């Protein structure tokens, strides 16, 4: 089985061309392949498939390292665009792909830089989904003798955003695991920890459901900026500094599509035997 290893800001993937096949990967196979010591090692597996809609170029499916299929991956979308270009599966700069629950428009700016139209951020609890009796500007939950204050937003996948003062010494894994598996998030949740530097710059660390903390999370960056703009402490153009590097988010606010611009990188081609 041939695959291509790629990454975006250190958030790494294997991409498999499933256009002419009908491959189905069981959870245990994905878990073995994602293992960084005994397998290939990756945060997500991306499957490219044919589209049955003439207005959509390709469909792609996203599987986290734990084997569960998820709805969205911003960094993965940029790698998909670069993959389609370098494998000569498409010869145009504007590409339309569908995921599990939405259509995404990609634009290849140059050999590495890709723009992704992530759609309109959704803040209603039922869109996350998030179980609550009241819609609030900020929510809170009790954890280890204190309250954690957070916001929720969906970019096709669910995100919980927490503002922190000290991003280096926050218990990312402990809090992230607690929230990811809490009953108030029936489909689990990605947890972003955001420190605001100024209106145009934030620092971010993300604990991804089914993966753990990653070097970068594109949809997580979009979610954090969307929350900051909604709460009026960020401008419409923001640079997000992640452990793996920087990504740029543009959003004009309510009812507008949100755009993400960042790098994608080819690493190598390989093959494995099932």
In the DSSP assignment, the letter for residue 112 is S
Catalytic site residue from 79, 160, 217, 222 = 217
Q: Can you tell me the distance from the alpha carbon of 24 to that of 164, in angstroms, rounded to the nearest whole number?
A: 41
Q: Which residues contact 124 (CB under 8 A, 6 or more apart)?
A: 135
Q: Determine contact, residues 86/228, Cβ cutoff 8 Å.
A: no
Q: Determine contact, residues 72/101, Cβ cutoff 8 Å.
A: yes
Question: What ranges make up the beta strands (E) of 21-145?
Answer: 44-50, 58-64, 69-70, 94-98, 103-108, 113-119, 139-143
Q: Can you tell me the distance from the alpha carbon of 214 to that of 132, in angstroms, rounded to the nearest whole number?
A: 28
* Whether 196 is catalytic: no
Strand pairing partners for 13? Answer: 6, 44
Nearest to 118 by CA among 212, 205, 224: 224
* Whether 239 is catalytic: no
- Cα angle for residues 34, 37, 38 (degrees, 5° grid): 70
Burial tier of 53 (Cβ tally within 10 Å: 0-12, 13-18, 19+): exposed
Could you list the active site residues? 73, 217
């Amino acid at each position: 089985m041939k695959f291509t290893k790629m990454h975006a800001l250190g958030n790494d993937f294997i991409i498999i061309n499933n256009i002419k096949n009908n491959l189905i990967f069981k959870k245990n196979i994905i878990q073995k392949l994602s293992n960084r010591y005994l397998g290939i090692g990756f945060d997500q597996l991306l499957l490219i498939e044919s589209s049955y809609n003439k207005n959509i170029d390709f469909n792609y499916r996203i599987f986290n390292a734990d084997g569960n299929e998820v709805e969205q991956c911003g960094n993965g979308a940029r790698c998909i665009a670069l993959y389609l270009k370098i494998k000569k599966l498409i010869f145009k700069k504007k590409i339309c792909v569908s995921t599990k629950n939405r259509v995404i428009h990609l634009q290849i700016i140059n050999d590495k830089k890709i723009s992704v139209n992530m759609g309109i951020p959704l803040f209603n609890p039922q869109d996350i989904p998030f179980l609550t009796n009241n819609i609030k500007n900020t929510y809170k939950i009790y954890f280890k003798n204190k309250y954690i204050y957070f916001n929720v937003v969906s970019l096709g996948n669910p995100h919980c955003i927490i503002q922190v003062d000290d991003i280096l010494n926050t218990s990312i894994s402990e809090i992230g695991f607690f929230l990811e598996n809490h009953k108030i998030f029936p489909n689990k949740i990605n947890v972003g920890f955001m420190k605001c530097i100024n209106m145009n710059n934030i620092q971010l660390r993300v604990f991804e459901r089914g993966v753990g903390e990653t070097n970068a999370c594109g949809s997580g960056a979009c979610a954090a900026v969307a929350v900051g703009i909604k709460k009026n402490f960020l401008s419409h153009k923001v640079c997000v500094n992640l452990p793996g590097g920087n990504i740029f988010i543009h959003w004009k606010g309510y009812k507008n599509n949100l755009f993400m611009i960042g790098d994608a990188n080819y690493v190598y081609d390989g093959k494995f035997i099932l």
